[in-house]
Structure 1
């Protein structure tokens, strides 16, 4: 046994062993690193200043929630501020009901130059098909949801695309999950933009303010975001009747809005029904009330790796209003009748503009649920 150990030790020297280990550890990494670097398309050094500002605006908005959370935690590190912060949180969680009573929209904030840079990044715009008289309330149904709904934000939560000029007298309120209004500071920014809770009470309170009041509901919600992929328009709409019932109860005209390009600004990993990824996402949605799409876009300094949206044109076509007869207790027959008219108008918009704004589509618009 000692002789065998001696032979083994003489057969492989220490220096030779180090060389072999070094070659084994370094050889596979070189092509991987080179491949990764080759696949990332970096932003060139010479880019127009305006485009850089546009990208910075989108990056800032995409990071706003995290910035607000970080700021609040930072302020919590100063004990003298604890009474102020505690009072603020008590106000947020217990007293302030603004998210369900119409918010506190600021026209100055909605019209800031920052939002113009934000919308010009894609660019985002809208097509107006018909005048909307400001003598009645409106419910705008926005499709598709996309990953985040950047087109809805640009058109209905800011004045960057000129909504107030094209539809004078109408005050839009984009609606979102009530949980977003529990985030310190972020909730105040949302309300300055006119964004409110999507709860039933919020819809009734806003539309109950009378002529010119309007809400925008991204109808497909979290479920539809799981189907958002470039070149497709798969809508979750068939069983979504709540927004139609709200419109009938409040006597608000329904206005379908189809946003071409909303699904094109992010790539999403495969998550078809039956896969473990889809099952996990649906379970997450059932527990937390929202879903978690696994997606990617571009980065701040590159064009194909990151969480910023791609520069893809978004055009929201605001269709013709569907007049409804007000009823405190609408029958299912009436709701179904209005839904049929709504879907027909949505299909008309798609068929009219698809060859202009969806040239790279992979398939036609489809209602999957």
Structure 2
């Protein structure tokens, strides 16, 4: 199989008219009722494999649920399924670091996954593996594909760039109630985002690390191409945990995260915004109304657009360990954290955010 990172592939991909238009104009607006741009028949095999990898991840939950219900239709499997459901109910692995497998994290499918966008990792400095770390990931985006590519797989080469660091991307606890899906994401090193989980992972020793996508549901509603509106001022929990566990804070900014999906207008006062906020109040999360591309077209569907994602891992912020840090102490660390995040933006915005519509803003 030819080298996936060769420049010849990049040049050949630019000849594909539909996809190249999005590469050259990543903020282009589209009216799905008047224009559909179909994928040409001569797409190279390696690009089909990249699309397949992203599609498989997007469909992983429905696939796992379909397999589970298929097994439920076979009476001979019922005793095993009952035991498995009991196991799910009492399994504490999502709160204790999961069951990470380097083999799963290094599977070839993740190379195709990251090369689809492509997603890359840029390291600013070494992180010595003699302490725990809390990575704060920004922006949240619609789904957080850059966080997945960087911290839940080896597709971008995290272990090569940060040897000795064991990253654990954190997600909603509800994801670990989905049969089979939970086992896959735990093998990728993904754990629950609960406070208990954070503490347990950081206490595993030197080099243990968690990655939290900070903005949450509120920030996902503000995710639009060309913007970087962060929900950060009121997010103090991850800083408090870092101080209590004596973990260094590492700001991470992912350029392009907000560009891979388009979102319906949901400004304050609109019906869409009101419905989304009600969902958020009831369920703790919300459903952004978005679209990307499809498997057979370039401009409408639930697949993300092929737009570059560059994840910049900034300089660590050392904190002193305090069992009960005061609000003033937390606020002081937060200011240092925000200053480092702004430094990352100002350093790389002209290289990786050339199509931006506005500067980075901290809106809450």
Q: Could you tell me the TM-score, scaled by structure 1's length?
A: 0.90
Which residue number corresponds to residue 363 of structure 1?
358
1:61 lines up with 2:57 in the alignment: yes
| Per-residue deviation, 1:258 | 0.3
Other-structure match for 2:179: 184
Take 2:320 and 2:289, find their aligned partners in 1: how far apart are those partners? 42
In structure 2, the partner of 1:169 is: 164
Partner of 2:278: 283
Checking the alignment, whether the CA contact within 8 Å between 2:219 and 2:231 is kept in structure 1 is: yes
* Stretches of structure 2 lacking an aligned partner (at least 5 in a row): 1-30
Matches within 5 A, 1:57-96: 57-93=53-89, 95-96=90-91
- Relative to its length, the structure with more helix (as a share) is 1
Distance 1:346 1:59, change over 3 A: same
Q: Describe how 1:3-14 pairs up with structure 2 within 5 A.
A: none
Deviation at 1:37, TM superposition (A): 8.2
Distance 1:152 1:83, change over 3 A: same
Q: Which residue of 2 aligns with 1:153?
A: 148
Shift of 1:210: 1.2
Give the whole-Å Cα distance in 1 for the aligned partners of 2:348 and 2:71. 50
Stretch deviating more after TM superposition (285-294 or 125-134): 285-294
Say which SS state the counterpart of residue 143 (structure 2) adopts. Answer: coil
Q: Runs ≥4 in structure 1, deviation > 3 angstroms?
A: 35-38
SS at match of 1:173: strand
Report matched runs for 1:177-216 at 5 Å: 177-216=172-211
- 1:308-365: CA deviations, max 9, x gaps? 0000000010000000000000011110000000000000000000000000000000
Deviation by residue 1:59-109 (Cα, 9 ceiling, x = unmatched):
01100001001110111011111111011011001x210000110000000
The aligned counterpart of 2:28 is none
Residue 136 (1) aligns with residue 139 (2):
no
| Deviation (angstroms), 1:39 | 0.8
Measured in 2, the distance between the counterparts of 1:319 and 1:197 equals 24
Alignment TM-score, normalising by the size of structure 2: 0.91
**Distance in 2 of aligned mates of 1:283 and 1:324:** 37
**What is the distance in 1 between the residues matched to 2:280 and 2:88?**
25
CA distance in 1, matches of 2:33, 2:242: 53
Is the counterpart of residue 247 in structure 1 residue 253 in structure 2? no
1:279 deviates by 1.2
**Deviation for aligned residue 1:36:** 6.9
Matches of residues 220-231 of structure 1 in structure 2 within 5 Å? 220-231=215-226
Task: State the secondary structure of the residue aligned to 2:268.
Answer: coil
Q: 2:229 aligns with which of 204, 212, 234?
A: 234
Q: Distance in 2 between matches of 1:37 and 1:234?
A: 29
Residue 109 of structure 2, aligned match among 94, 105, 114: 114
Distance 1:100 1:181 in 2: 10
Instruction: State how far apart, in whole Å, the 2-side matches of 1:255 and 1:182 are.
Output: 30
Distance in 2, Cα, partners of 1:137 & 1:316 = 20
CA distance in 2, matches of 1:36, 1:127: 35
Structure with the greater alpha carbon radius of gyration: 1
1:181: how far off? 0.3
For 1:119 and 1:240, how far apart are their aligned partners in 2? 29
Q: Which residue of 2 aligns with 1:6?
A: none
Residue 34 of structure 2 is aligned to residue 41 of structure 1: no
Question: Is it true that 1:256 corresponds to 2:251 in the alignment?
Answer: yes
